Structure 1
Amino acid sequence: MANHKSAKKRARQSIVRNERNTIRKTTTRTALKAIRSAIESNDKASATGLLATTQKLLARLSKHGVIKANTAARQTSRLAQQINKL
Structure 2
Amino acid sequence: MANIASAQKRIRQTIVRTARNKARRSRVHSFVRKVEEAIASGNHAEARAAFVVAQPELQRAATKGVLKANTVSRKLSRLSARVKALSASV
Aligned residues: 86
Ranges of 4+ aligned residues in structure 1 off by more than 2 Å? none
Partner in structure 1 of residue 59 of structure 2: 59
Structure 1 unmatched ranges of 5 or more: none
| Cα distance, 1:50 vs structure 2 | 1.0
The two structures, once aligned, show a CA RMSD in angstroms of 1.0
| Cα distance, 1:2 vs structure 2 | 2.0
Cα distance in 2 for residues equivalent to 1:61 and 1:43: 27
Partner in structure 2 of residue 79 of structure 1: 79
TM-score normalized by structure 1? 0.92
Cα distance in 2 for residues equivalent to 1:11 and 1:60: 25
Structure 2 unmatched ranges of 5 or more: none
TM-score normalized by structure 2? 0.88
Identity rate, percent: 40
Q: Residues 21-40 of structure 1: matches in 2 within 5 Å?
A: 21-40=21-40
